[in-house]
Amino acid sequence: MMAEGGQRVDKWLFFTRAIKSRSLAQKLVQSGAVRINRDKIDNPARQVRPGDVLTLSLHGTVRVLKVVDGGARRGPAVEAATLYEDLSPPRPPGATKTDEGTPVPGYEPSARPPTKQERRALSRLRDDLMD
Residue 41: which domain range? 1-91
- CA dist list (Å): 106 to 61, 89, 94, 100, 118: 20, 19, 11, 17, 22
Angstrom distance (rounded) from CA 38 to CA 106: 34
Beta strands 7-8 and 61-67 are: unpaired
Q: Looking at the domain assignment, is residue 113 inside a domain?
A: no
Give pTM, 2 decimals: 0.68
How would residue 14 be classed by pLDDT, with cut points 50, 70 and 90?
Answer: very high
Q: Looking at the domain assignment, is residue 127 inside a domain?
A: no
Q: Looking at the domain assignment, is residue 98 inside a domain?
A: no
CA proximity to 14, closest of 25, 30, 5, 1: 25
Summarised one tens digit per residue, pLDDT across range 41-97 is: 999 999 999 999 999 998 878 899 999 999 899 999 999 999 999 998 776 665 555
Name residues whose C-beta falls within 8 Å of residue 47's C-beta, 6 or more positions apart in sequence. Answer: 5, 6, 7, 8, 9
Angstrom distance (rounded) from CA 54 to CA 68: 11
Number of domain units in the chain: 1
At residue 87, the pLDDT reads: 92
Q: Looking at the domain assignment, is residue 106 inside a domain?
A: no
98-123 average pLDDT score: 77
At residue 2, the pLDDT reads: 59
Q: Looking at the domain assignment, is residue 10 inside a domain?
A: yes
CATH number at residue 52: 3.10.290.10
